[in-house]
Structure formats: structure tokens, C-alpha cells
Amino acid sequence: MTPFSSPRPAVLACHGLSMTYRTASGPLPALRDVSFTVGAGELVCVVGPSGCGKTTLLKLLAGLLTPSSGSVVTAPPPPGRPANALMFQEHALFPWMTVLENVTFALDGNGAGRRGRLDRAREFVERVGLTQFGAAYPHQLSAGMRQRVALARVLARNPYVWLMDEPFGALDGQTRLLLQEELLRTWEAHQQSILFVTHDIDEGVRLADRILVMTGRPGTMREQVVVTLPRPRQPLVGDGEAAEIKCRIWRLLEDEVRKTLYSPRAER
């Protein structure tokens, strides 16, 4: 049990996770001795200064990188569900596929026939408000619409653990609030386990059960903040307990953020 453990049964656990990149100019430490858990049905946000290793952490959890030391343990997913899915800030759509084809492709291998995959893809394209754009290609969509397609792919796959890397960070404020709402609606209906990286303190307070605050590079866990605000939470929280939580998180981050302003930008 670590100070950053969930009170719920763990579906994802990091133990002493460290990562050092080998570069032409020498070793570049990105993460150091990171330990925490994500519980069943829990939505955990991670915040930290730019360059502290947040993206590296998600890539390690998704199995895209091998840690220099430490381990990642994921509980076996239920039959028919992928163990995890990683959603980036950039949409990563296939440019030669339509909206509907992109979402349908994400469902390959889930055991359903083509008709079943197509019906499920249509359902989630509709849920992100893009029914009229099912035959459009990514280059014909705005940045916000492309990110909605990326969200539809994750929703449709229904992974056991969702790994989300600032997925709404590049969107305009209105679109961000609407996609937060869709994410929360799906999470509350199905109680997926989500680890959500964000640079936006307001977003973390609106979404999270717990917020993990990281130090600057090499990133490690500094403190966790439990968010006990009742749900549903208002999209724009500005006073009372919510404001106190935001101030506390900023106080934890402020020194770390100032340090990054005067040091070279590193791999996130």
C-alpha cells in the first residue's frame, strides 16, 4: 500500500516505476520511483508541470515503452474487453478512412461480426454528435470534430482501463466542456477505470475522484488530493470547496512549474 493507493480494489498498479531515456547527450531521466494504483470504477487525474513525464507514464502503462525499473500490473480484463486503450491529445485517425470507418476499425477483433461492429460504431458516432459526418474524412473536419471521433473510438471499444493523455487540451472551451460531459456520462453509466492526464486544474476538479500531483522532471508523485465534491459537478466551479481544492493543487504545482520555466523542455 502506497500513499497514492486507491481505497478500491486495484485494476492498475505501478510499483517503483522509473524511466531513463538514452540520448546522444547522455541519460535523460523522465520518471523516478512512481508508485500508485487506480481502483475499480475510479476516475483518477494526473497533473504536473510540463516535461515531468506524464506522457511517458501513460506509454509505460499502455505497454508502448519498457520501464528502466519497476513494474506495471493490470488486473485481467473481463472476457471480450481489451485491457486498455490510450487516447492522445492528437486524434491519430487514419486519414484514408471515413469517420465511421475509423470507429469501426477500432472494433476489429472484439468478436462481433461486421454488421455488429458497424451498428456499434454508428451508436458512438451519434453519441459524440457526428452522425451527419459519418462519411467525411478527417481532413474535412475541424480539430474538435476529429477529437470527438477519437473519443468515439475509445467509447466504442470499452476498454477495461482508459488511459487518456490531455485528450481535450487542444479544444476550444465549449467543445471541451461538452466532451467532458460525454466522458462523465459514459463513465457514470458503466464505471470504467480511467487515468486521465490534464494540465487544466479545473478539468481535474470537475472529473476526478482523486488527483495525483507530480513533481518536475524526473517526475514522481508528490501528493494526492481526494475530491469529495458531490456529482454531478458544475462545469465551471469557482467558489467554496471547489475553489479551495484548486488553490491547494496550484500551491503544490507552483514551485514545480516555476522551475520548468528556467530549464530545458523535456519529454512529457
Q: Tell me: the pLDDT tens digits for 136-158?
A: 999 999 888 888 898 888 888 88
- The Cα 4–Cα 221 span in angstroms is 8
Going by C-alpha positions, the residue among 31, 10, 12 that lies closest to residue 20 is: 31
Query: Greater confidence, 110 or 179?
Result: 179
Q: What is the pLDDT of residue 175?
A: 82
pTM of the model: 0.88
pLDDT at 233 over 90: no
Question: What confidence tier does 54 reach under pLDDT thresholds 50, 70, 90?
Answer: very high
pLDDT at 198 over 90: yes
Q: What is the pLDDT of residue 267?
A: 44
pLDDT in tens, 236-268: 656 688 888 999 999 988 877 777 666 654 444
CB of 73 closer than 8 Å to CB of 36: no
Q: What is the pLDDT of residue 185?
A: 87
pLDDT at 214 over 80: yes
Mean pLDDT of the chain: 87
> What are φ and ψ of residue 181, in 5° steps?
-65, -45
Q: What is the pLDDT of residue 238?
A: 63
The pLDDT of 40-53, averaged and rounded, is: 92
Name the H helices within the chain: 54-61, 99-105, 114-127, 143-157, 173-190, 201-207, 240-261
CB of 58 closer than 8 Å to CB of 86: yes
The pLDDT of 196-206, averaged and rounded, is: 93
Q: What is the pLDDT of residue 114?
A: 79
Task: Read off the C-alpha cell for 22.
Answer: 538514452
The pLDDT of 26-54, averaged and rounded, is: 93
Contacts of 28 (CB under 8 A, 6+ apart): 20, 21, 22, 266, 267
pLDDT at 193 over 70: yes
The pLDDT of 54-77, averaged and rounded, is: 93
> What are φ and ψ of residue 45, in 5° steps?
-105, 150
Q: What is the pLDDT of residue 268?
A: 45
